[in-house]
Amino acid sequence: MNSRKNSGDYFGSLVFNESTMRDYIPETSLGVWKECVKKHTVLPEKIAADIADGMKRWALEQGATHYTHWFQPLTGETAEKHEGFLIPSGQDGFRMEFSSKELIKGEPDASSFPSGGLRSTFEARGYSAWDPTSYAFIKDKVLCIPTVFCSYSGEVLDKKTPLLRSGEALNRQAVRILRLLGDESTGSVTVNVGAEQEYFLLRKEQFMKREDLRLCGRTLFGADAPKKQELDDHYYGAIKPEVTAFMQDLNDELWKLGICAKTEHNEVAPAQYEMAPFFTNANLANDQNQLTMEIMKRVAEKHDLVCLLSEKPFAGINGSGKHVNWSISTDTGENLFSPGRTPADNTRFLLFFAAFLKGVDEYYELLRSSAAYAGNDNRLGGQEAPPAIISVFIGSELEAVIDAIISEHPYDGGENAALAVGGDVLLQIARDNTDRNRTSPLAFTGNKFEFRMVGSSQSIASPVAYLNTIMAQELKEAADELESAGATQETITALIRRMLKEHRRIVFNGNGYDASWVEEAARRGLKNLKNTAQTIPEYASEKNIRLLTENGIYTRKEIESRGAIRLEKYCSIITIEARTLIEMVRKGILGSVSAYLASLSDAFGFEKKQKEEIGRLGDHLYCVLEQLEADVKKLDLCEDEAARLSLCSDVLTADMKAVRAVIDPLEKRIDSRFWPYPDYTELLFAI
């Protein structure tokens, strides 16, 4: 007999998923749990006790010694605090204990997590509560229980809760609309997400030599390598064995955790790669993406590599994003963004599609904000990443369709022959006929939208939560209207037409990198929110507060606190970068410039020339460095947050740019034996 294991055999072996639960939990309890998850109702205590018991037995069999509530605070990372199962028992004995109480609720100290002023320091307690819709898993002998996290007084302090709430809001409104369209069989809808993850791999040894990489996750200076990505030889290139070894290990770890890592390839920039999992429901996809980022970093360590997740680690070459593929499907297996095969399906598709366009047009500032933070500022709007202006790419065929609907003209669909419904053109759209426009921040790709603005290091929870909320809001408005007007083919078609007509401006199929788009967008009245600072006042606007409170995602206080956290984090990151740059110049660069200058003699003409040139650059460097230092000192004098924000965003970033503008040419001129840091060639072409 062949005793070799198939590579897929261990898939999910570290996850307490449904099939594992079947072996450890009484059938009736499992049934109740499934109903509760499906209907979003509270789990009875007795069932929770059965699950806790089963979970414990399973975890102990897997060698787990501890458990933790695993949550996602507003840092965007994950948090865990381990508790041993072990408790003393009898004279010298012990027993392993884990009850429903421990499964359901934890009380971690919340005082050191960002709360944006929600938590007063005297009340440090926070609550974590089990999320029974995501699976528990084992990591490093620790049973990790996905949980939500809130303050003692109930304010939400995490990223998971709004994601769950937004999914429920969308579910409510989508089912309402489906009923109005005559669908009586759909019980619920689910949001599906597939988050493609880009990353860089560097040699650890070289990474460790650069404080900017270690402290900021990106290089703050570095002259272009003679070769960048102009030969397009890395993208989809043969993967080097060392990288393959990393990817195989990564896949092993992810598969054990039930994460369906599916696609892997070399990305455009040298040393850049991508992993895409198979999509799953939004809550799980979010948990899994958080885990994926963590596992990527630790597997890299094992290979003496470093996995860099920051958005723009190197100037002059592509940065990393996280394309969030987003769709909605029914429990009967229908994708609601799938242009259907029947006239009724097409009506449904167009209604959801039009509602989405309307939502993006009305709330694009919120979507823009969801991907706005210091790291992503370095990436968005460059010539290789989506522009900072939000628009939706829908492909030429769909564009022709919506224009035909708006103008009430028949659509000449050519070979994708039209299906006429009620005198209107609603048609069969060939799947995947949409072009791949890489320059769009939000693209329709056949049966899903791809939000490409999201940065590689960030949690996908907020971007997905806002997509869900916007969609819920628009479906709610549509349902209200159809309920009062009566849902007939005429009223539905009129509604679709009006939504498309009024929000046509958000559609842009052209080249988003082209300078003319900036002007065109301005003509259309679409704001170009260039950086994080510009999104800060937009985020907690009255419009967004209304949207988020009315859909039950946040309270006003929670939104304001999130705005405050974003601002604070932005300023902290810029400040750390400024300080790091100052250190590197003072402790590393100035001395090497002097040493190199001293090593040159006056014996030869070329040496004199070099001395002159480098000396001049050195003087200039000192000058811009002093300016940066003086401006950093002003941080202490800022009277309020707004002043701090503008100092960081307008002044410090410009100062750092000025410093870099001198360091890079200096680096090009100094003998590498004197230059203290690995350069771009060494960093990017090491593997």
HEC secondary structure over 436-471: CCCCCCEEECCCCEEECCCECCCCCHHHHHHHHHHH
Least CB distance from residue 236 to ligand ADP, whole Å?
Answer: 11
For residue 248, the one-letter residue type is Q
Of 60, 50, 251, 21, whose CA–CA distance to 138 is shortest? 60
Least CB distance from residue 576 to ligand ADP, whole Å?
Answer: 33
**Which secondary-structure segment (H or E) carries 128?**
strand 126-130
Least CB distance from residue 325 to ligand ADP, whole Å?
Answer: 3
Residue 448 contact partner, candidates Mg ion, ligand ADP, none, CB within 5 to 8 A by sort of partner = ligand ADP
Nearest CB to ligand ADP, comparing residues 456 and 649: 456
Least CB distance from residue 276 to Mg ion, whole Å?
Answer: 7
Identify which range of 18-26, 179-187, 287-295, 320-328 contacts Mg ion by CB under 5 A. 320-328
Pairs from 625-629 (Cβ < 8 Å, separation ≥ 24): 625/582, 625/585, 625/586, 625/659, 627/655, 627/658, 628/578, 628/581, 628/582, 628/652, 628/655, 628/656, 628/658, 628/659, 629/582
**Which secondary-structure segment (H or E) carries 353?**
helix 343-370
Nearest CB to Mg ion, comparing residues 325 and 544: 325
Residue 292 contact partner, candidates ligand ADP, Mg ion, none, CB within 5 to 8 A by sort of partner = none
Residue 193 contact partner, candidates ligand ADP, Mg ion, none, CB within 5 to 8 A by sort of partner = ligand ADP
Residue 580 contact partner, candidates ligand ADP, Mg ion, none, CB within 5 to 8 A by sort of partner = none
Nearest CB to Mg ion, comparing residues 323 and 476: 323
Write the CA distances from 407 to 312, 349, 529, 679, integer angstroms.
43, 19, 32, 57
Least CB distance from residue 182 to ligand ADP, whole Å?
Answer: 24
Q: What are phi and psi of 472, to 5 degrees?
A: -60, -45
Residue 193: DSSP 8-state: E
Residue 282 in contact with residue 192, Cβ under 8 Å?
yes
In terms of residues, how long is the chain? 687
Nearest CB to Mg ion, comparing residues 194 and 217: 194
Residue 335 contact partner, candidates Mg ion, ligand ADP, none, CB within 5 to 8 A by sort of partner = ligand ADP
Nearest CB to ligand ADP, comparing residues 451 and 517: 451
Give how many residues touch Mg ion by CB under 5 A.
1
Identify which range of 149-157, 220-228, 317-325, 560-568 contacts Mg ion by CB under 5 A. 317-325
Least CB distance from residue 379 to ligand ADP, whole Å?
Answer: 18
Least CB distance from residue 379 to Mg ion, whole Å?
Answer: 16
Nearest CB to ligand ADP, comparing residues 289 and 346: 289
Whole-angstrom Cα Rg for the chain: 27
Q: Give residues in contact with ligand ADP (CB under 6 A).
A: 192-194, 196, 263, 276-279, 325-327, 335, 447-448
Nearest CB to ligand ADP, comparing residues 278 and 685: 278
Nearest CB to ligand ADP, comparing residues 222 and 277: 277
Residues of this chain, 636-675, that bind Mg ion according to CB under 5 A: none
User: Using CA of residue 168, residue 173, residue 177, residue 180, what is the dihedral sign?
Assistant: positive
CA–centroid distance for 631 within its chain: 32
For residue 222, the one-letter residue type is G
Residue 323 binds to Mg ion (criterion: CB under 5 A): yes
Give CA–CA dist 169/184, Å, rounded.
19
Residue 405 in contact with residue 500, Cβ under 8 Å?
yes
Residue 276 contact partner, candidates Mg ion, ligand ADP, none, CB within 5 to 8 A by sort of partner = ligand ADP
Footprint of Mg ion on this chain (CB under 5 A)?
A: 323
